[in-house]
Amino acid sequence: MSDMWDWLAARAAEREAAGLRRRLRTRELGDGLVDLAGNDYLGLSAHPEVRAAAAEAVWAWGSGSTGSRLVTGTTTEHTALERELADFVGAEAALVFSSGYLANLGVVTALAGPEDLLISDAQNHASVIDACRLSGARRVVVEHCSPIAVHRALAGTAIPYRRAFVLTESVFSVDGDVAPLAELAEVCREHGAALLVDEAHGVGVHGQEGRGGAYAAGLAGAQDVVLTVTLSKAFGTQGGVVAGPQAVIDHLVDAARAFIFDTALAPSCVAAARASLRILRREPDLVERVHANALRLHAIAVDAGLPATAPSGAVTSVILGDPDRTVAAAARCAEHGVRVGCFRPPSVPDGRSRLRLTARADLTEEDFARVSTVLRGIPHNGIGPDQFHERSGQPSVV
Ligand SMILES: Cc1ncc(COP(=O)(O)O)c(C=O)c1O
């Protein structure tokens, strides 16, 4: 029995050789690093009002929710957040899950089954991909951000289907580019398909007052559009939400296994999200600040001679191509006081390993100066971000 797990060492060696080992890095309290790796876009996770709301909820409700949403886990904090968030994104209703990942799993598996067709953008997040797989529905992956590819996939299928769903992110997690939601919704309507939009990087940072991509595309309240939102990024806490027509939300309460068989999100996280939403409503210029700061980070990277992608949201990527070089560059940044995201396959296509610089609303002049010094120290090969091989746009199965 002692050799039961030898195959794991062999796998680890293969990953090591390909530069794809993943290692946990423990974050020390007060390490003083400028954080460009997290998703705390608005800098709200440490906001005094958000911290206070979380702490008060711990004293009021205890440190956990004590049960699933259908047993003891639905507090007045949960129902209030659902009302407030639905109102913010312009949806009829909303439902809180314990993470964005589970919100995606829950909504897709509750709506789609083996007789259905799912059309999924080639760069959708792993949670959307996993949700598609788990649903058992027929899956077609289409070219990134291409309404024409979606039209072809819906029109060209020879196999009959019961219902069709088109899945996209509003703002894509790795490149930070924005989906053509209005055009996608039009194609969906032409074919009677529903549009599922993952707003993890949209709500709180994109569109008027940070109301998200669907709102900006004029799709607020649409009966054929369903959104998922995470509370772990712009809202600075944890948790996930599905927002959409009341009929969909009612169905999820009955049928979404990731909702029914999961302990509810802790009341402190829900209260923190409510506080973040209050701040966002009160200070909508936070959203503009994130965008201005992203443009500054991009300019700093370009000045440092690095192949950086222009941000359409909060994210600038410095595409270095080779995974080992990217890991070394990220380590160098950390050694010199800046934490950056490090993305390698399978999170990004082969040859597209990159550093991800995520802007926050609360970056200071001192932070920018340090980032500038650190980025100037990264060796590069003079290749522009568009000169690397792009992922094929051909439809394939997820
Ligand atoms: C696009 C996208 N969807 C879903 C998730 C999952 O959200 P959560 O971290 O709340 O589980 C993430 C991030 O982690 C994401 O980037």
Q: What is the pLDDT of residues 168-179, one digit of tens each?
A: 999 998 788 899
In ligand 1, the atom with minimum distance to the C-alpha of 101 is 11
| pTM confidence score | 0.92
96 CB near ligand 1 (under 6 Å): no
Query: What pLDDT is stored for residue 349 in this prediction?
Result: 83
How much of the chain exceeds pLDDT 70, in percent? 95
39 CB near ligand 1 (under 6 Å): no
170 CB near ligand 1 (under 6 Å): no
Q: Cβ distance 19 to 323 under 8 Å? A: yes
Query: What pLDDT is stored for residue 385 in this prediction?
Result: 47
Q: Tell me the average pLDDT of the chain.
A: 93
- Residue 131 to residues 86, 100, 220, 309, 386: CA-CA distances in angstroms? 23, 12, 24, 29, 31
Q: Percent helix, strand, coil in the chain (nearest 5)?
A: 40, 15, 40
Is it true that the peptide bond before 346 is cis, omega within 30 degrees of 0? yes
Which residue among 104, 172, 173 is best mutated to probe the pocket of ligand 1, counting the most ligand atoms within 8 A of its Cβ?
173
Query: What pLDDT is stored for residue 1 in this prediction?
Result: 64
Nearest CA residue ID for atom 16, ligand 1 = 173
Query: What pLDDT is stored for residue 380 in this prediction?
Result: 66
Q: Quote the tokens at residue 35.
A: 């954080």
pLDDT grade for 72, boundaries at 50, 70 and 90: very high
Which residue among 39, 96, 124, 230 is best mutated to probe the pocket of ligand 1, counting the most ligand atoms within 8 A of its Cβ?
230
100 CB near ligand 1 (under 6 Å): yes
Output 158 or 286, whichever has higher pLDDT: 286
Query: What pLDDT is stored for residue 176 in this prediction?
Result: 84
In ligand 1, the atom with minimum distance to the C-alpha of 127 is 4
Query: What pLDDT is stored for residue 381 in this prediction?
Result: 60
Active site residues per annotation:
39, 125, 169, 173, 198, 201, 233
202 CB near ligand 1 (under 6 Å): no
230 CB near ligand 1 (under 6 Å): yes
Q: Cβ distance 198 to 169 under 8 Å? A: yes
Q: Quote the tokens at residue 256.
A: 């979404």
| pLDDT beyond 60 at 203 | yes
Closest CA to 242 of 254, 256, 261, 262: 256
In ligand 1, the atom with minimum distance to the C-alpha of 124 is 1
